[in-house]
Amino acid sequence: MERHFLMRLILLPLSILYTAVTCLRNWLFDRGFIRVQKLDQPVISIGNLAMGGTGKTPITSECARILSDMGYKVGILSRGYGRKNKTRSLEVTPHTHWQDAGDEPLMLARQNPKARVFVGPSRFQAARACTDNQIDVYLIDDGFQHRYLHRDLNMVCIDATQPLPPYRLALPFREGLHSLRRADLVIITRCPQPERASELISKIQKVVPNMPIIFSHFASGNIQPVFEGDRVGRKDVIAYSGIERPQKFFRALDRKGYHVRFSLALPDHGAPNKKQWDLLYEQSQTNRTPLIVTTQKDAVKVERKPDSGIILSFVPLITCWRKPEEIRAFFENTLN
C-alpha cells in the first residue's frame, strides 16, 4: 500500500504535465487549429482511455467480421506497432512478414479474409495504400487519440475488470474520463454479467449522461495448431505470451482445464529470442509435454516449425456480445 502511494506521488507532477499537454492538444483540435483529414469513405474508430489491454483489437476484428457479413467491403487502418520500417505504407496480407506488418495487423489480416488491412506512418497514409478505391468503410484500430483523421463513429472500449481513469489526471492512462465526451459509443469489455457493472455504468453516466453503452466479453476458443497436421489434444501445456497482461492468458488456460506446467511472460508485442525458445523447449522435455501454447497475436510471429516433436499452438479469442443486434444497429445508422 505504501509503495503504491509513493509511486502515485512520484508520478503526480508528470501526470499533471502530461494531462496539461493532452488537454491543450485536444483544445487545438476542438477549435480547428490542427487540421483534420477526411477520407471519401466512412470511418469507424475503436480505441480506449487506457494504455492497453482493454481488448480493442479483438473488438476491431469482430467489427470487421460483422461489417463484412453485412455486405460492406472493410478496410482496417493501423500504424503497425513494432514493425521495422515505420515510414512505409502497405497492404497487409496473411502472408506478409510480421516484422513488416506488425503483429496485430497481421493477426487481423489472417482473422478477416473478407477485409483488407493497411498500415502506414499515420492512419491517413495507411489508407493511401489502398490504390483501387474498393473500400466501403474503414475501421481505425486504436484510433481514439488519433484525431488527425475524421471519424463518423467514435467507439471507446473500457475494461470492466480494471479501474476507470480519474476525471482529468491521465497517467497511467492515456486520457481522463472527461474525454468520453468525444465518444459516440462505449463498449464495456470483459463484462459477461452487466448487472454487476452498475457502479461502473454510474461513473460513466455522471460524465456523459446520455452515452450509449453496450456490453461484451471474451471467451477462449479451442486450442489450434500453428502448423496444419499437428495434434493438440493434450491437457498438459507449456505457455508463453507477449500481450499487455499475460497472466490473464495463463489464467484463461487454467479455466479451460489445461495444466500449465511452465509459463513465460514476455513484454507486450515481444517475441521469444533464441535463449527463451531454448528454455521453452527444455521445459517441454522436463515436463514431458510436447505442447507449447500461446495467444493468436503471438502465434503470427512463429516463423518455422520446431524440430524434435514440439507442437506449437494458439488459443483463439472469441468476442461475445450481450445483444449482437445493438452493434449492428450502430453500424447501420452510421453507414445508411
Domain identity same for 191 and 283: no
Domain identity same for 29 and 100: yes
Sheet arrangement for strand 291-295: 224-225, 311-315, 291-295, 236-241, 259-265
Sheet arrangement for strand 74-78: 90-92, 116-119, 74-78, 137-141, 43-48, 153-159, 185-189, 213-220, 317-321
In a domain, 5, yes or no: no
In a domain, 92, yes or no: yes
Number of H helices, E strands in the chain: 10, 14
Question: Whole domain around residue 44: which residue ranges?
Answer: 13-218+320-335
CATH number (domain holding residue 50) = 3.40.50.300
Domain identity same for 324 and 311: no
Domain identity same for 26 and 55: yes
On whether the CB atoms of residues 75 and 190 are closer than 8 A, the answer is: no
On whether the CB atoms of residues 114 and 74 are closer than 8 A, the answer is: yes
Domain identity same for 263 and 170: no
Domain identity same for 208 and 235: no
> What is the reported pLDDT for 103?
95
In a domain, 129, yes or no: yes
> What is the reported pLDDT for 8?
67
Helices 56-69/324-335 angle, 10° precision:
70
The answer to pTM > 0.85 is yes
In a domain, 6, yes or no: no
Domain identity same for 103 and 188: yes
Q: Which of 236, 191, 217, 224 is nearest to 295 (CA)?
A: 224
Instruction: Walk along the chain (336 residues) and give the pLDDT tens digit of each residue.
Output: 455 566 667 777 887 888 888 889 999 999 999 999 999 999 999 999 988 778 899 999 999 999 999 999 999 999 998 898 888 999 999 999 999 999 999 999 999 999 999 999 999 999 989 888 799 999 999 999 999 999 999 999 999 998 888 887 777 788 989 999 999 999 999 999 988 899 999 999 999 999 999 999 999 999 999 998 888 888 899 999 999 889 999 999 999 999 999 999 999 999 999 999 999 999 999 999 999 999 999 999 998 888 778 999 999 999 999 999 999 999 999 998
Neighbour tally for 218: CB within 10 Å: 19
Give the chain's domain count.
Answer: 2
Q: Which three cell numbers stand for residue 142?
A: 486504436
Q: Is 137 helix (H, G, I), strand (E, B) or coil?
A: strand
Q: Which of 118, 140, 143, 122 is nearest to 131 (CA)?
A: 118
* Residue 48 to residue 166: CA distance in whole angstroms: 14
In a domain, 4, yes or no: no
Domain identity same for 106 and 141: yes
Domain identity same for 78 and 117: yes
CATH number (domain holding residue 234) = 3.40.50
Cα torsion 87, 93, 94, 95: sign: negative
In a domain, 177, yes or no: yes
**One-letter amino acid of 177:** L
Domain identity same for 140 and 170: yes
Estimate the share of the chain in helix, then strand, then coil, as percent rounded to the nearest 5.
Answer: 35, 20, 40
Domain identity same for 142 and 232: no
Domain identity same for 156 and 250: no
In a domain, 138, yes or no: yes
In a domain, 118, yes or no: yes
Cα torsion 301, 146, 162, 329: sign: negative
* Residue 108 to residue 207: CA distance in whole angstroms: 33
Q: Which residue has the cell 495467444?
A: 295
